[in-house]
Structure 1
Amino acid sequence: MNGGQRAMSRFLGRLGGWCARHGRLVLTLWVIAAAALMGGSIVLGSPVSNDASIPGTDAQRAHDLMRDGFGPGYDQGGTVQLVIYSPYGPLTEDRPKQAVERTVADLRTLPHVVQVDSPYRRGGIASNLRIGLVTVRMEGHDSTKLAENTQVLSAAAEPARQAGLEVVPADSSTPADKEIKTGPSEIIGVVCALLVLIFAFGTLTAALVPIFTALVSVASGLGVIGLLGHVVDVPKQAGIMATMIGLGVGIDYALFLLSRHRRLLATGLPVQEAVRRAVASSGGAVVFAGGTVIIALSALMLGGFPLLRTLGWITGISVVSAVLTAVTLVPAQLGLLGHRVNTLKVPFLGRRPESSGWGGLGAWVARRPWTVLVGSVLVLATLAAPALALQLGSLDEGYGAKGEPSRRAYELMASGFGPGINGPLTVVAKVTGSDAAVDRLSNAIEAVDGVANVSEAKKNDSGDAVMIQVVPEYAPSDARAAEVVREIRQLNVDGVQAHVGGEVAGLTDAADRMAERTPLVIGVVVLLSALLLLFAFRAPIVAIKAALMNLVSLGAAFGALALVFSIGLGSGLVGMDAPANSSYLQTIFFSVPIESYVPLMLFAVLFGLSMDYEVFLLTAVRQAYLKHGDNARSVAEGLGSTGRVITSAALIMVAVFTAFIAYPDPMVKTFGVGLAAAIAVDATIIRGFLVPATMVLLGRWNWWCPRWLDRLLPNLSVEGHEDEDAPARPPVPVMSGQS
């Protein structure tokens, strides 16, 4: 090995050996750390934020002007609406009207409430006279605590409920803004992973090692993320994303180390020596694989969306925790268990050699690489084809779970006032001219196609700013609502400088920013990942090809998302509830928009996770090639030695991600479907057929490196060696640029 390889291998080997010798100490320290971090986040709380502001956008300028000109009570978090529905008769009758007026009077007595608009004002009652809106403005209170404010205000509507009226709160957040709480999906995912591990190892004891490691890793990561909420704004999606990714990679990394350890143990090595060699040889691949995931997530900081940037690096904390537990806690457990790691065997499982089926598949692929290549490309193209129908948009409360108060309020408001009432636009203008300029602005807005209603302009106390509420004809998730935003922004009225804010406007700006920055993020992630592979394997063709292969698995992920959500084939099966008046076919083929930031987040996560399997497969192929120099044979041997482990790891990730589809939150469902589909395709078609076929066809060019580049590259390798005192292996020939 070169100096860089030997140094990394020696360090990881010594670390693993020390942890194996001091297993009780390492185990105790990790358990205490996980308990302390989680306990601290529970006791001190885990503050989260739904701040989706994007500096420099028109919606943000509108928000800032509204806050400065009209006060914090007019911003999004300071306004709550209560929807009142009379099932028996018009709200204008005496009995319901008295109950509603008592409710309005009680609301006005609550702390921090500065204004309550009665439904009996102009436009407050629907044309059917059964649905009314009570609008409450608050200030001097933490406007980010929208859920808490809504609960307090809803509880004050008891007089109306006692009169037989239905009162449901409606807030201005989207399903993706909601706080996502943990639930049974984590348990289902862990149980499924345990079953896969039992089938892979054949012993319950060995199967429990990755599970325990992942649970400690996730608990530590979530504890850190929870405590970080006191220092930085932590998105509400961070906890669930960290749990999903942390469980998957935590189990996988432990699985790779454990598999190598059991193979070494089977050769007769002492326990601690087997642990040392396992960490020395596979630990580098684990560290490198985790690094690629973190780099991919960190690239989200270039997306121009603060929420996405923060979500990326915070989710990376769970990956760091998974790597640390893999190279320390796993060796500690293996050192404590000794040969008992193979106890509690399950009958009829774990008796086949790990390379039995996969070695044969590798040899079969090596004999007919062109056939396999063409067949794989056709299958992958078929899977990715639906991605052409991918529809990005925004999720509104109409896509929330049935039975949720917010969805009920959404449906009542849409029924009584039209779908646009659920996503009103706020036009805020700085007045530089006379009142006539404000009138011209109102008239111009009213003339825009797709505008259903324009409220009377409201001036601030100083008279230098005006606010106009605009109700579109379309629901917030309708793409035509975004077009209304763009058309209003194109209006040019002398005497006023207008900006458009509100939920729809903010989501429109987010989608535009994502579309603008997506090529940059993709380019940076692919380039950095290819460079890391180049440093690791000193093979430019392999590095470029690996980066391109990961893009292929993304095509399959987006194809699955489009098929399930955009086309609607199976959206009902994953728990997306169609409107109440939908037919059976509409329920099954229920089209759901995908949030604009989801594809970019999926890209970063999937690219990093796919690189894990690429690293482990290439490491095994290269090690075989260094032994005998036969390319086709090394591909077959590499696939044979890693195929079963990679498949088991992929099954675990697919099980974990699939379990999260049961979450009621649409954003979690989209991530679950996309991640599960991509990992399944990546670990089977791509790693089992496409990658081996291309490596066989490339022959010695897999490991070609021009001399000038070889001299420039640092001595970095992920493949390690089980015995640092073993004689050096024959080097891979470094060919000239013309060879």
Structure 2
Amino acid sequence: MSGLLGRLGGWCARHGRAVLGLWVLAAVLLTAGSVLFPGPVSNNVSIPGTDAQRAHDLMRDGFGPGFDPGGTVQIVLYSPDGPLTAQRRVRAVHRAMDRIREVPHVVEVETPYRVGGLAPSMEIGMITVKLEGHDNSKLAETTKRLSEAAEPVRALGIEAVPADASTPADKEIKTGTSEVIGVICALLVLLFAFGTLVAAMIPIFTALVSIATGLGVISLLGHIVDVPKQASIMATMIGLGVGIDYALFLLSRHRKLLADGVPVHEAVRRVVGSSGGAVVFAGGTVVIALSALMLAGFPLLRTLGWITGISVVCAVLTSVTLVPALFGMLGHRINALRLPFMGRRGSHGASSGWASLGDWVAKRPWGVLALSVAVLAALTAPALALKLGPLDDGYADRGTDQRRSYELLQAGFGPGMNGPLVVVADLETKIVDREPTPAVLQNLKDRVAAVDGMAHVADPILNDAGTAAMVRAVSDYSPSDPRALEVVEDVRAIRIEGATVHVGGEVAGMADASARIAERTPLVVGVVVLLSALLLLLAFRSPVVALKAALMNLVSLGAAFGALSLVFSMGLGSGLVGMDTPVDVDGSYLTTLFFSVPIDSYIPLMLFAVLFGLSMDYEVFLLTAVRQAYLRHGDNRRAVAQGLGSTGRVITSAALIMVAVFVAFIAYPDPMVKIFGVGLAVAIAVDATVIRGFLVPATMVLLGRYNWWCPAWLDRILPNLSIEGHDEEEEPVEEPRGELVGAARG
């Protein structure tokens, strides 16, 4: 593979202008296409085969307009100056309702002056709008028009906030400030590492081209598949980090070869043939880890995984084509515009500090191993207290419609109003006579109302065919309260003669999602670990190295989950990362920086996939350097020290960039992005320091030549896919024969 990549890199270097033009053209066209024809985004939380999905399917069957998920929008009203029942406010509400009826696809508008439409205080009420024939993917646009139609009540000082209780918001998570901060931080690190403005701008430029291309593809895919609203932000976070890192590794190696006097095009060929192979394999592990999410049994997570992988593929492609093209075009001008006092020491070779550390670790591996294990155990221990649960709109950014409507509904009607249950009974016998209320329907209502923690149960509604009945129920608990899940399970346990009870709604869907993810997590973890280990086995032809790398990545994950538990589950600084305190029952804010925040059940699995792939990047680059040194002289201890010394500086710079990018995203208002930012930043920091700087070198020294042991039978059947390559002037030594026969091959 190294030969093929080398030829590709050489061709791109010779045709730099054409390659650059094609990438820029692709980025511009895809970006323009995504702006002119933006694909819709969604949060398709359907989970085939679950009880909640069965309830939702029954809801679509003949219950009339507005009962289909996505067919109901609520406008929450709040009159701070007096009750909504005052005559002038009643007139304003009716004028608003008349204007709402004029909005396309509106088939029914329910007044807040109905039973259950006004809060006991009479200051908070709900206008319920039922839609039919609309496009669910454009529900955000429809909701905006409905909100604008409610202007007559705002003119009277009444607050009118749109809330959609039937489906999650379909508005895409926009990006902007966080990316700018991340890019600036990355540029500063690159300037410090290389000392020249031209060199520092190459990773930034290629990463931006890669992100623009990837985001354009993702946006246009929205016309074909359901693209989660989190897709763009996740693709940007991961794409920006790996895009800069991959270019950084290539750039560091290229500048060293130029400093050694290697001609430009020959240097490019060698860089792409050796370090380019490491980039391809590193990117491959990230894509494998993300693709394994397809086995999670959760459509949203499955789609989010492979779509995020698009940004990684773009980063790899730009690294092995656009980066060598820029190298060829710039030649020795890559070191132009040098900045004073920056990047001079160790810019082209192994940092003396990291080389000294490598020697120090190699001389005392047992002590380093014990200390590393102790530190990692302390960082991982809090993960035992990690608390998973639904993350509802009560934790949304303060000032948004989602947060404000949540607060108003909770203050007026109780916390359960933000997550009503939809109880659907599949009737065994068709009901023809609807009056008086059939016994099975009355029994259904009574049994649901008798469940502990149930605040209100509406009258049953029979579908047109008389084959199913629906009851809307409100519990005493908010969607993020674990007791709300207990209420769902209690309702599902109801047994009624002549009917089968199913429970849908937001809370029920969350419960089913958590159960499905918990069921599939061992499968996903096993597949990711095994496939990643197999990829490393093909790369380095060493079972020991492959299994050890997988184990080390799991260790860095433990540290990430420990940090998440400290910050969010234990609440030690959740306010410090910008999480808004939850609203109290009376509508007042809690004034504390320390409060517990639930973590959605899908986040740990998504974090696992992302972090496992990203951690493998540094493992691949470190092992590549160690193996190259080992093949030159056959001394394992010396090879480990040299590998750490030659890669320590660049891995540290890459990790600093990655951490800076992820920390920048912590400032983003969306809670999910904050959780990912904290977890990714901590994991990468720990991985690049404690694990790659101490634990991995110590274990490799202790394992000795068994690092590169490969059974003869396995060595014969493994394809030759070595990624490290060799410079022509560096001839590998003859590897001792015997049990270690496969070590020097590849």
Q: Which residue of 2 aligns with 1:451?
A: 454
Match of 2:410 among 414, 427, 438: 414
CA contact (8 A) 2:428 2:467 kept: yes
How far residue 621 of structure 1 moved from its aligned partner, in angstroms, is 0.7
CA contact (8 A) 1:49 1:235 kept: yes
Partners of 2:366 and 2:260 lie apart in 1 by: 38
Q: Which residue of 1 aligns with 2:699?
A: 694
Do the aligned partners of residues 584 and 394 (structure 1) sit closer, same or farther apart at CA in structure 2, a change above 3 Å counting? closer
Superposed CA deviations along residues 367-413 of structure 1, whole A, max 9, x for unmatched, are: 11111111111111111111111111111111011111221111111
Partners of 1:178 and 1:676 lie apart in 2 by: 26
Do the aligned partners of residues 735 and 309 (structure 1) sit closer, same or farther apart at CA in structure 2, a change above 3 Å counting? same
SS of structure 1 residue aligned to 2:503: strand
How far residue 177 of structure 1 moved from its aligned partner, in angstroms, is 5.6
Q: Which residue of 2 aligns with 1:577?
A: 580
Partners of 1:197 and 1:437 lie apart in 2 by: 71
Match of 1:401 among 394, 397, 400: 397
Partners of 1:50 and 1:283 lie apart in 2 by: 37
> Where in structure 2 are the equivalents of 1:184-195 lying within 5 Å?
184-195=177-188
How far residue 275 of structure 1 moved from its aligned partner, in angstroms, is 1.1
CA contact (8 A) 1:703 1:732 kept: no
Q: Which residue of 2 aligns with 1:615?
A: 620
Match of 1:45 among 33, 38, 62: 38
Partners of 2:696 and 2:541 lie apart in 1 by: 18
Match of 2:525 among 522, 526, 530: 522
How far residue 730 of structure 1 moved from its aligned partner, in angstroms, is 2.6
Match of 1:109 among 95, 102, 106: 102
SS of structure 2 residue aligned to 1:392: coil
Q: Which residue of 2 aligns with 1:218?
A: 211
SS of structure 2 residue aligned to 1:594: coil
Match of 2:734 among 725, 730, 737: 730
Q: Which residue of 2 aligns with 1:441?
A: 444
**1:484 alignment partner AA:** V
How far residue 178 of structure 1 moved from its aligned partner, in angstroms, is 4.2
How far residue 279 of structure 1 moved from its aligned partner, in angstroms, is 1.0
Partners of 2:720 and 2:64 lie apart in 1 by: 59
Q: Which residue of 2 aligns with 1:204?
A: 197
Match of 1:490 among 493, 498, 521: 493
Partners of 2:318 and 2:145 lie apart in 1 by: 43
Partners of 1:517 and 1:111 lie apart in 2 by: 42
How far residue 585 of structure 1 moved from its aligned partner, in angstroms, is 8.1
**1:40 alignment partner AA:** G
TM-score (norm 2): 0.95
Moved more, 578-587 or 600-609: 578-587
Do the aligned partners of residues 583 and 572 (structure 1) sit closer, same or farther apart at CA in structure 2, a change above 3 Å counting? farther
CA contact (8 A) 2:560 2:682 kept: yes
Q: Which residue of 1 aligns with 2:660?
A: 655
CA contact (8 A) 1:77 1:144 kept: no
Superposed CA deviations along residues 263-304 of structure 1, whole A, max 9, x for unmatched, are: 000011111111111111111101110111111111001000
**1:340 alignment partner AA:** R
CA-based RMSD of the aligned residues comes to 1.7
SS of structure 2 residue aligned to 1:73: coil
SS of structure 2 residue aligned to 1:427: strand
Q: Which residue of 1 aligns with 2:144?
A: 151
Partners of 1:660 and 1:230 lie apart in 2 by: 27
Partners of 1:203 and 1:298 lie apart in 2 by: 38
How far residue 134 of structure 1 moved from its aligned partner, in angstroms, is 1.1
Q: Which residue of 2 aligns with 1:637?
A: 642
Superposed CA deviations along residues 497-529 of structure 1, whole A, max 9, x for unmatched, are: 221111111111101100000010000100111
Do the aligned partners of residues 72 and 13 (structure 1) sit closer, same or farther apart at CA in structure 2, a change above 3 Å counting? farther
> Where in structure 2 are the equivalents of 1:486-635 lying within 5 Å?
486-579=489-582, 587-635=592-640
SS of structure 1 residue aligned to 2:127: strand
Partners of 2:491 and 2:590 lie apart in 1 by: 37
CA contact (8 A) 1:705 1:734 kept: no
**2:391 alignment partner AA:** L
Do the aligned partners of residues 137 and 583 (structure 1) sit closer, same or farther apart at CA in structure 2, a change above 3 Å counting? closer
How far residue 556 of structure 1 moved from its aligned partner, in angstroms, is 0.6
SS of structure 2 residue aligned to 1:81: strand
Partners of 2:299 and 2:479 lie apart in 1 by: 22
Do the aligned partners of residues 716 and 563 (structure 1) sit closer, same or farther apart at CA in structure 2, a change above 3 Å counting? same
CA contact (8 A) 1:571 1:588 kept: yes
Q: Which residue of 1 aligns with 2:274?
A: 281
How far residue 696 of structure 1 moved from its aligned partner, in angstroms, is 0.8
Partners of 1:602 and 1:249 lie apart in 2 by: 15
Match of 2:2 among 5, 9, 13: 9
Q: Which residue of 2 aligns with 1:322?
A: 315
Q: Which residue of 2 aligns with 1:369?
A: 365
Moved more, 43-52 or 321-330: 43-52
Partners of 1:11 and 1:704 lie apart in 2 by: 27
**1:376 alignment partner AA:** S
Partners of 2:404 and 2:220 lie apart in 1 by: 35
How far residue 550 of structure 1 moved from its aligned partner, in angstroms, is 0.1
Partners of 1:26 and 1:733 lie apart in 2 by: 46
Partners of 2:24 and 2:308 lie apart in 1 by: 21
Do the aligned partners of residues 34 and 475 (structure 1) sit closer, same or farther apart at CA in structure 2, a change above 3 Å counting? same
Q: Which residue of 1 aligns with 2:115?
A: 122
SS of structure 2 residue aligned to 1:429: strand
Indicate whether 1:460 and 2:463 are aligned: yes
Do the aligned partners of residues 360 and 177 (structure 1) sit closer, same or farther apart at CA in structure 2, a change above 3 Å counting? farther
Partners of 2:506 and 2:370 lie apart in 1 by: 47
How far residue 74 of structure 1 moved from its aligned partner, in angstroms, is 1.1
Indicate whether 1:25 and 2:28 are aligned: no
Do the aligned partners of residues 343 and 63 (structure 1) sit closer, same or farther apart at CA in structure 2, a change above 3 Å counting? same
How far residue 701 of structure 1 moved from its aligned partner, in angstroms, is 1.3
Superposed CA deviations along residues 667-710 of structure 1, whole A, max 9, x for unmatched, are: 11111111111000000000000000111111111111222222
How far residue 726 of structure 1 moved from its aligned partner, in angstroms, is 6.2
Partners of 1:134 and 1:670 lie apart in 2 by: 34
CA contact (8 A) 2:632 2:732 kept: no
How far residue 172 of structure 1 moved from its aligned partner, in angstroms, is 2.4
**2:206 alignment partner AA:** T
Partners of 1:726 and 1:640 lie apart in 2 by: 18
Do the aligned partners of residues 210 and 175 (structure 1) sit closer, same or farther apart at CA in structure 2, a change above 3 Å counting? farther
Aligned-residue sequence identity (percent) comes to: 72
Partners of 1:279 and 1:208 lie apart in 2 by: 19
Moved more, 292-301 or 405-414: 405-414
SS of structure 1 residue aligned to 2:501: strand
CA contact (8 A) 1:176 1:667 kept: no
Indicate whether 1:710 and 2:715 are aligned: yes
Q: Which residue of 2 aligns with 1:91?
A: 84
**2:723 alignment partner AA:** V
Moved more, 542-551 or 267-276: 267-276
Runs (5+) with no aligned partner, structure 1: 1-7
Moved more, 671-680 or 159-168: 159-168
How far residue 146 of structure 1 moved from its aligned partner, in angstroms, is 2.2
Moved more, 470-479 or 434-443: 434-443
Q: Which residue of 1 aligns with 2:420?
A: 424
Q: Which residue of 1 aligns with 2:434?
A: none
Partners of 1:511 and 1:199 lie apart in 2 by: 45
Partners of 2:186 and 2:713 lie apart in 1 by: 46
How far residue 132 of structure 1 moved from its aligned partner, in angstroms, is 0.8
How far residue 731 of structure 1 moved from its aligned partner, in angstroms, is 3.5
Indicate whether 1:180 and 2:173 are aligned: yes
Partners of 2:426 and 2:710 lie apart in 1 by: 62
How far residue 355 of structure 1 moved from its aligned partner, in angstroms, is 2.3
CA contact (8 A) 1:620 1:642 kept: yes
Partners of 1:104 and 1:585 lie apart in 2 by: 35
